[in-house]
Structure 1
Amino acid sequence: MPESRRIATARHERSDTSHTPAVDAPVSKGPRQEPVRLTVPTRNDRFLSRLTEVIGGPLGRFTDPGRVNPGIFTVQRVLVVLTVIGVLFAILAKNMCRTQGWGGMNSYQWACYSDWASLFHARGFSENAFAPFAGGELFEYPVLMSVVASLTAWMVPGADAFGGTLDRTLAYFDINLFFVAILWIVTVIVTSKTAGRRPWDAAMVALAPGMMLASTINWDMWAVAALAVALLFFARDKPFLAGIFIGLGTATKLYPILFLGVVIVLAIRTGKFKAWWLTVAGTATSWLAVNVPFAIADYTAWSYFLEFTRDRGAGFSSVWYAWNLSASNIPGMKQMSPEFINSAGLWGFAAACAVIAILALAAKERPRVASILFLIVASFVLFNKVYSPQFVVWLVPLVALAWPRWKDFLIWQLFEVLHFWAVWLHLWALSAQWEPQHSFPPAFYVYAVVAHILATLWIMWKVVESMLDPSKDPVRRVGQEDPQAGPFAGLPDKYTLGTLRTWLGARNAKNTQESSLTKDDATQR
């Protein structure tokens, strides 16, 4: 290596790890013996460092965060303040509908649509808070989401409240908004504690534009918070409790079950399967405890979510919908049937999981839990039949743990915001039935869908690079291995693709030798 390049590389490494202690602190099991020095974002992240010039530059190198009492400005308290700011922006993003109503074209024109307002009347919650369980209405969501929707509807005052002037739809929205704010704060705090020596990475979750715009569309934040808590329990070597929250999250939204894929891959690599069985046991316990009573009471209502998911066609913003929309405007291009989409999406996701497993087993160093989990969930999102705008809230906490680089994060969020607005403009154009020359062109919407897919793939590639080359991993560069490893922390690798190749090579050599000896014996006889 040329001398100038070697010096530049050494300077970069010193600037990026100046906050690490001389003796690395343990990352997993057992009580912490002493305070651990925390990573300073303005010192560690070059993008943030440049942005701080207007306030005096990054935190000085003689500070010692994590070991010096910060007074009232602890990391978690500041993160709560940042999250409250995010919640206020989320309210502002929906304020046109809150003040002008969700009727007509308002939801699309002002991009303030929310399933809460739409389903309050459409699914009978305004007449019967427990409509999904009363046999009259079918609700296209898993059991716990139905429970949440019903309980929040139950909290809405009756039609005669306040002299009959109460806007019950707005009340329903605001009650759900209150719970989302609590869940958002919980997710941020839990993510900060899961991130090890990088708690400030949770600020990405607090201030993500995608969270501000999409967290108030549906009840997905309940599943997001459940998965965040599960990650924390797993990081603290409590796989059964982690499984409990995985089961609860899966009973709310399907995607938290994908965490089991991470655990089985790491169990195979280490040869230790106890954590896998405990996590599965916890997941099965909570999921069955929630689902079995409802399935017994009303199987038709309970199974409607599965039937609805199976039978629905390509949903908005999925790659399949973008294809079909393009096919409807391009002569000779054929649309995809729901049956083909079901099969292609399933096999595409299965292939992606196989590739991720191979990468995780082939990497020289064991990949981090958050890295594998993000890749699996992102693949699930990309191959899904529908990409609802709120799906971005699934990915934000995982990106904060898997690739905590603010510049890349904000670029990705920029394309997600672009896609968010394109969805509502597209729906506005469809609903208003304008003349083509006056409406939002379908091609622009397809471009926005492709852009958000490419941006997600770009972040995925960054994570893959960090798996294959740990020196590029922002988390490992600060002197810690895997803050979420939990029961797998410190374990040696037993089965990797490298050891498998070695084992197969030795076995083939032994078989060749035995075959040669057999031939010699036959010749002698």
Structure 2
Amino acid sequence: MTGIDTRRATISPQPLAADLRTADNRDCPSRTDSLGSALSNVIGGPVGRHAVIGRTRYLTPLRPMFLIALVFLALGWSTKAACLNSTGTGTGDQRVANWDNQRAYYELCYSDTVPLYGAELLSQGKFPYKSSWIETDSSGKPQIRYDGQPAIRYMEYPVLTGVYQYMSMTLAKTYTALSKLRVVPVVAEVVVFFDVAAIGLALAWLATVWAAASLAGRRVWDAALVAASPLVIFQIFTNFDALPTAFALGGLLAWARRRPV
């Protein structure tokens, strides 16, 4: 007994692929994670021992993660849908979103996007930071600062977020102009503003998922925790936070790839 394996190797009946590279170092949750292993039984079980990983051009890990993110984004929009019913008569800029009887709170559909459209003077077509307004109290009287001067306010959002709101407003007013020509249905302008802004925020969140997956290295599937975050359902369209997350993750990715500029 020499201890040497004398069994003959099995030769594949088919020609071997020209490219035998495989991402063997990629972490596979169906093998290493108990939950991932259990869920993989739905689609046939864990990845096989001899699987060639990372060779599929189209069905990469990022594709199902995008699909998961889109499902959660759709759920996020549905949580705000109850606050997006148009009410009133006239043209789109004369109608408002139906928030009667504190609907935004008992329907759990509140979003800063809707009240900010009027509060930040976007409904008047004003450009952020160039226009201002005097803050008033509940009785409508101007608020006075510590120095005795009226409290003058400007948009408090960062510049890129403010410009994004302005661009969304421009598209919303374009839709209103088309509705006056009876080209499209009449919808409250603030509702169109919300929907336009939501589309861009959804794209920003997909960019966040992409950057997270790119930063994850061999544990690329960990980015699914970002795509499937429960916070997306309730908060993705509450404000404009998806924009800074996209820029933050994009900046980290650029730094990781040694392209900080």
TM-score (norm 2): 0.71
Query: Residue deviations 1:196-239, cap 9 Å, x none?
Result: 1111111111111111221111111111001111111121123x
Structure 2: distance between partners of 1:154 and 1:57: 50
SS of match in other structure, 1:114: coil
Structure 2: distance between partners of 1:200 and 1:135: 46
Structure 2 residue aligned with 1:148, among 132, 143, 164? 164
8 A Cα contact 1:130 1:150, kept in partner: yes
Query: Residue deviations 1:258-297, cap 9 Å, x none?
Result: xxxxxxxxxxxxxxxxxxxxxxxxxxxxxxxxxxxxxxxx
Residue 46 (structure 1) shift: 1.2
The answer on 1:219 being equivalent to 2:216 is no
* Code of the aligned partner of 2:179: F
Equivalent in the alignment of 1:59: 47
Structure 2: distance between partners of 1:132 and 1:102: 29
Q: How many residues align?
A: 205
Q: Assess, with a 3 A threshold, how the Cα gap between structure 1 residues 58 and 99 changes in structure 2: closer, same or farther.
A: farther
Equivalent in the alignment of 1:350: none
Structure 1: 5+ residue stretches without partners = 1-33, 242-525
* Code of the aligned partner of 1:36: A
The answer on 1:81 being equivalent to 2:67 is yes
Query: Residue deviations 1:83-133, cap 9 Å, x none?
Result: 222221122222212236451312111211111111001221111241432
Query: Residue deviations 1:455-500, cap 9 Å, x none?
Result: xxxxxxxxxxxxxxxxxxxxxxxxxxxxxxxxxxxxxxxxxxxxxx
Q: CA RMSD in A?
A: 2.2
Structure 2: distance between partners of 1:109 and 1:177: 22
The answer on 1:41 being equivalent to 2:37 is no
Q: Assess, with a 3 A threshold, how the Cα gap between structure 1 residues 226 and 53 changes in structure 2: closer, same or farther.
A: same
Q: Assess, with a 3 A threshold, how the Cα gap between structure 1 residues 235 and 35 changes in structure 2: closer, same or farther.
A: farther
Identity over aligned residues, as a percent? 27
8 A Cα contact 2:73 2:236, kept in partner: no
Structure 2 residue aligned with 1:190, among 211, 215, 218? 211
Higher RCO, Cα 8 Å, sep 6+? 2
Alignment of 1:269-418 (within 5 A): none
Structure 2: distance between partners of 1:181 and 1:129: 25
Structure 2: distance between partners of 1:147 and 1:134: 13
Structure 1: distance between partners of 2:98 and 2:230: 22
SS of match in other structure, 2:172: coil
Structure 2: 5+ residue stretches without partners = 1-20, 87-96, 134-152
Q: Assess, with a 3 A threshold, how the Cα gap between structure 1 residues 54 and 74 changes in structure 2: closer, same or farther.
A: closer
SS of match in other structure, 1:157: helix
8 A Cα contact 2:205 2:242, kept in partner: yes
Residue 35 (structure 1) shift: 5.3
8 A Cα contact 1:40 1:65, kept in partner: no
* Code of the aligned partner of 1:103: W
* Code of the aligned partner of 2:169: A
Structure 1 residue aligned with 2:187, among 166, 170, 180? 166
* Code of the aligned partner of 1:62: H
* Code of the aligned partner of 1:49: S
Query: Residue deviations 1:310-363, cap 9 Å, x none?
Result: xxxxxxxxxxxxxxxxxxxxxxxxxxxxxxxxxxxxxxxxxxxxxxxxxxxxxx
Greater share of helix? 1
* Code of the aligned partner of 1:58: P
8 A Cα contact 2:205 2:243, kept in partner: no
Structure 2: distance between partners of 1:226 and 1:168: 28
* Code of the aligned partner of 2:34: R
* Code of the aligned partner of 1:188: V
The answer on 1:235 being equivalent to 2:252 is no
Structure 1: distance between partners of 2:22 and 2:215: 16
